[in-house]
A and B are shown apart, each in its own frame.
Chain A
Amino acid sequence: MADGNGHEPRIVAFLCRWCSYAGADLAGTSRIKYPPNIIPIRVPCSGRVDPAWVMEAFARGADGVFIGGCHPGDCHYVSGNYKARRRVTLLRKLLPQLGIDPRRLRLEWISATEGKRFAEVVTEFVEELKELGPMRAEEAAQDVR
């Protein structure tokens, strides 16, 4: 993973079980192609994603973290996605202080019917991360705990 060319980014994706995870499933059952760079983790709600998990994913070498939640107004728990959005706003302020480009953290609203959109968004994110290149080698080496 020395240079940006040919680098395959690793993305940890936290997907809400009600919307985005189902959207990802739909992409699969519809046989829509998208890059295999994501590691999906099903969560009950985007609002369940602890900011510590995001930081841990980066510390353990993820090149990107993706959070997929329900569209505004559609959260199964009414407002979990709104909370997730505010956390992401704050995380995007915090990450640059740790030397991490905030574009490496992405929040998207994807419903259960949006398999195609899921594939498009993931494709776009992988492209963006390829342009950003791998996390700096020394960053990965400095994983303290």
Chain B
Amino acid sequence: MSAKPKIAVYWTGSCGGCDVSFLEVGEAIVEILSRVEVVFWPALVDVKRSDLEAMPPGSIDYALINGVIRTEENREMAEILREKSKYIVAYGACAHLGGVPSLADLWGKEEIFRAVFGEGFRPGPPPGVDGEARLPDLSEKAVPLEEVVRVDYAVPGCPPPAPLISRFFTALFSGEMPDPPYVFANVKALCEECPRERHDDRRIERIVRPHEIVPDPNKCLLEQGLICMGPVTRGGCNALCPVAGMPCTGCLGPTPEAGDPGAAMLSALASLVRFEDEGEEYFAREDEVLERLADPLGTFYMYAFGKFRRRS
């Protein structure tokens, strides 16, 4: 590739962690930044919406958008970036799947305002501002990027882990980008790359939460009763959390085989929770274990509710 690829990085409904995550690659960031031309990146350079609007359509090669689509302004910016860019990359779990913020859709917009700002709150002009200025209104739903514009690639994660950021830029610089749509993470489950020992005939007789036990450093976390989303989640992070003793929470999104991560993990748990034998005499004990699962929805859909909700 002769000319440097032009990239844009933008945040919508985001915590800012995705913008910082580029530093995860360490010194490689120096090389990455020297091989691209940053034309728009509000967190890094002084550019305004009007600068973006002045760019010719298709003039940006890759626009990496992180964050959920939460406000009208988010949607407008996504639409402008779509027009100005050859490829749109959903960067991070929020843009990819809705992320944690999409769990807010369990409640309506009005309920969210009430819970956060109290009774009687009305969105209006920010204090001390005259004239027509107003804050962008909250959308009814917090949706993944693909619900508002066509998305070509995803670099998943909360935030994307270093190996996947590298995978994306390596492909970009080699000039051998896969055909869209493509997710820069493994098709196989995280368990495939997890170094912890697991047994084929595993079953679990208890469910515990991370603060309740000090897990054995070598054994599968699920076998120890921690709800690890590894079996239904894409690999690619080198099992970052399980290696550190924390169960996977599913930020890279479900494997294509798992599909709906909640349904898949619910099935997996229903298979795993059993005692030395099965039958009517075990029903009460099985239920006692299953009842210990706190917040199934938040556990199964921590990052993917936006994409996989069937209702709210």
Contact = CB atoms under 8 A, between A and B. Distances in A.
Nearest to A49: B267
Instruction: Tell me which of B262, B279, B311 has the highest count of chain A C-beta atoms within 10 A of its own C-beta.
Output: B311
A51 to B, nearest CB: 4
Interface in B260-281: 260, 262-264, 266-267, 269-271, 273-274, 278-280
Contacts of A94: 262, 266, 296-297, 300
Contacts of A99: 106, 311-312
A83 B270 contact: yes
A93 B270 contact: no
B287 to A, nearest CB: 5
Interface string B96-108: 0000000000100
Contact of A86 (B273, B295, B309): B273
Question: How many residues of A sit at the interface, in one of the four size bands?
Answer: 20 to 34
A59 interface: yes
Contacts of A97: 106, 295-298
B312 A142 contact: yes
Contact of A93 (B274, B280, B293): B293
Interface in A90-130: 90-91, 93-94, 97-100
B199 interface: no
Contacts of B310: 55-56, 58-59, 98, 143-145
Nearest to B298: A97
A31 B273 CA distance: 41
A73 B279 contact: yes
